[in-house]
Chains A and B, each alone.
Chain A
Amino acid sequence: DQQVKQNSPSLSVQEGRISILNCDYTNSMFDYFLWYKKYPAEGPTFLISISSIKDKNEDGRFTVFLNKSAKHLSLHIVPSQPGDSAVYFCAASSNTGNQFYFGTGTSLTVIP
């Protein structure tokens, strides 16, 4: 069973606008979340994280929001740039284990 779900396989956004990538999880024990970014022919690279003690974490143009009651997190990219075109994976873990559970990814295309 997929414990972390990214229901949008793809997303297209105009350059300069906001990109919002969504992620849902089912395990209420998850309390630490990550976003990874993946370019074609490369491995995923860490982008941003958030702990469940927060509901928002910001790093430059990237902000992750966490809604624990809805078991939902989102990644906002503002403003979007063509170089942001990549596949974005969200991942979650609980403090009872060391494994990260990844979603299936969302392919973002930023149109110049």
Chain B
Amino acid sequence: DAGVIQSPRHEVTEMGQEVTLRCKPISGHDYLFWYRQTMMRGLELLIYFNNNVPIDDSGMPEDRFSAKMPNASFSTLKIQPSEPRDSAVYFCASSFRLHRTDTQYFGPGTRLTVL
């Protein structure tokens, strides 16, 4: 299996622009997670999906952030409009079950820089 795939790997944009991050989970995994990594806060869970349905989006920082999962093999995280404080590494992860003993497999991340 190719593992979790994320694109782009790097994104540089200007403040106010729309940014779309993409993720393809591992086939057969029912759960998909979006995390953000910053130096100050480490890895923070933004939102997670079960069978393409958003279950908990309490970690989404504000209305500028939105996430969708139109099918089992694709999810997007969108920031509109982007701001410099959104600069971070964004990870997508997937797991077979939600049970906390079930390993989450992370993608390589998208490094976002907002100028």
Once the chains bind, are B44 and A43 in contact (CB under 8 Å)? no
Of the 9-residue stretches B13-21, B62-70, B73-81, B104-112, which lies at the interface with chain A? B104-112
Provide the residues of chain A in CB contact with B44, threshold 8 Å.
102
Please give the distance in Å from B102's CB to the nearest CB on chain A.
Answer: 10
What is the bound-complex CA distance between A89 and B44, given in angstroms?
12
Tell me whether A43 and B93 are in contact in the complex, defined as CB-CB below 8 angstroms, given that A32-B101, A93-B100 are known contacts: yes
Provide the residues of chain B in CB contact with A104, threshold 8 Å.
39-42
Q: How large is the interface on A (under 10, 10 to 19, 20 to 34, 35 or more residues)?
A: 20 to 34
Q: How large is the interface on B (under 10, 10 to 19, 20 to 34, 35 or more residues)?
A: 20 to 34
- The yes or no answer to B88 lying at the interface (CB within 8 A) is no
Provide the residues of chain A in CB contact with B40, threshold 8 Å.
104
Provide the residues of chain A in CB contact with B105, threshold 8 Å.
43, 45
Once the chains bind, are A98 and B104 in contact (CB under 8 Å)? no
Q: What are 23 A-B pairs with beta-carbon distances under 8 A?
A: A2-B41, A2-B42, A32-B100, A36-B106, A41-B9, A41-B108, A42-B108, A42-B109, A43-B4, A43-B93, A43-B105, A43-B108, A44-B43, A44-B91, A44-B106, A45-B105, A46-B103, A91-B43, A98-B48, A98-B98, A103-B42, A104-B39, A105-B42
| Interface of A toward B, CB cutoff 8 Å | 2, 4, 6, 32, 36, 41-46, 49, 89, 91, 93, 95, 98-100, 102-105
